[in-house]
Amino acid sequence: MNQIQVLYPVREALRVLLFLLLLVPVMGTGGCSKEDVPGTTFDIRDRYLQALIPLVDQLLTTQITNPDDPDYGALISPSTNPQPNPRHSRAAEAVYPFAVAYKHTQDEKYRTAAVLLGNWLVSIQQDDGTWGESWPDHDGWNGTTADQLISLAGALDLIKKDLKPAERQAWETAITKAADFCVDRFPGTSNINYTPTAAVGLVLAHRVVENPRTLWLEKAESLIAHVASRVNEDNLITGEGKGVDLGYNIAQTIGFIAWYGILQNSPETVDFAASVLKTHMYFMYPNGAMDNSWGTRSFKWMLESGSKTAPGVHFTFGLLVDKDPTILRGAGLALDWLENHSLDAENRVVYGPHAYLHENSNPPSNYPTFARAQSIATAVEYAPEATQIAPIPAEQTNWVKYFPTTQTAVLRTERVMATLSSYANNLRYPLETAVRGGSATVVWFDGYGPNGFLQLSSPTQYRRIEKKHMPEGIDPLPLTPRIETTTR
């Protein structure tokens, strides 16, 4: 993918690929007229709840229920690679999905699980109000404190009447400390996804503690304004690494912008999130998978969502289904991909459709399972009603969409969809881990195999850039075709 001398610019590569695939003439950068999607409309909120229950039931099987265990209430990851069955602090984000499941089913097991898990999360908080991602001391990288803040505050809002007075006070103290940390920490120099995440955490904290700080809401507003300033000329959000990462944008950043707008009754913010989502939706394929093959953090790319550790696309679509009928269709397709291609026999979210074939990633970490559960639980709670449904761009044919700021294009014909990219604005991560120059990073062919993917990009070297999130393994064989010319 990267070992090349002279490459076609992406526009030239597009012309060649169009010719090689015997495609029909390009019809501009839009698409054909919309037509009705086969099938009937559905209540997306009911479907989200149906998707949530198997995930929380799986997570329940991993909870420590022995009161004598020092990690009483924690969730044990089934994975032993790269760490032996860790009890990640972030796994406590499942406290919110447990609480949502209890609200909608009234099954006591979910309430009990939420209380135990929340108590454990409070007990392992660092003195500075943070939760670190390193295990077993729960120190180290602490930016994801914003994520735990959201889950703890969201759960408290749902089950506070079920907590003992001392438990409730402990939860509120932990939320206050975490919120104060977020005020001081963000936006900072972190990847952009932390910025709207912290904003939502601060709003939720302000709603649930007895004596909230006005500063939390002021800070949250400034964080959302900061994200809005990072949208480029192509309506893509920049700031993951040194550029654009579609995976994190659509699986985290846009969703939190939308959630903030809903919480703060800010229609213009929700509309802004919908506008950005519609641009990013060009990279949703007909099978419901998300293409992040070219993004700055593509080394963490998962077809289902964009990242192993991001919440996932489900709440992003779910919170915006009433803004455009194509978004409702996208919400359903994303759930289709999750249910048909991303779950193993035990309802654990895997790293990809073939991950279970590899010993080093089977069983998977519990990260993607609790992250998707959190995302889907948010959609269960906050998705608006929507009835109008229309095809996503990938379900329309004979178009090309080019994004000059990322030197990336998507094309769709009657039977083929493909992404080409020569994006090189990725100065934070190693050259070998991301696409460079003229590659057909994804090729999908209607009717091919179980999911249509004929070709997907791969790194030239496997680098464990985030070692705690990437299993140990051997370097893969690069399988990415590319369009190339050389000079001698």
Q: Is 243 helix (H, G, I), strand (E, B) or coil?
A: strand
Q: Residue range 4-17: average pLDDT?
A: 47
Q: Residue range 248-257: average pLDDT?
A: 97
Give the chain's mean pLDDT: 88
Is pLDDT of 27 > 50?
A: no
Q: Which residues contact 253 (CB under 8 A, 6 or more apart)?
A: 192, 193, 195, 196, 227, 237
Q: Is 410 helix (H, G, I), strand (E, B) or coil?
A: strand
Q: Residue range 388-399: average pLDDT?
A: 96
Mode of pairing for the β-strands spanning 243-244 and 238-240: antiparallel
Q: Residue range 200-216: average pLDDT?
A: 97
DSSP sequence for 127-162: TTS---SBTTTTBS--TTHHHHHHHHHHHHHHHGGG
Q: What is the pLDDT of residue 457?
A: 79
Is pLDDT of 21 > 80?
A: no
Neighbouring-strand partners of residue 425:
none
Cis check for the bond before 187: say yes or no (omega within 30 of 0): yes
Is pLDDT of 31 > 60?
A: no
pLDDT confidence band for 455 (50 / 70 / 90) = confident
Backbone φ and ψ for 106, nearest 5 degrees, come out as 60, 25
For the domain spanning 63-229, the CATH number is 1.50.10.20
- Per-domain boundaries in the chain: 63-229
The amino acid at residue 38 is P
Q: What Rg value do the Cα atoms of the chain yield, rounded?
A: 22
Structure tokens at 75: 């969730």
Is pLDDT of 32 > 50?
A: no
Residue in the block written with tokens 């990437």 = 470
Highest-scoring range by mean pLDDT, 299-313, 319-333, 467-481: 319-333
Q: Residue range 208-230: average pLDDT?
A: 97
Is pLDDT of 19 > 60?
A: no
Regarding pTM above 0.85, the answer is yes
pLDDT confidence band for 369 (50 / 70 / 90) = very high
Q: Residue range 120-149: average pLDDT?
A: 96
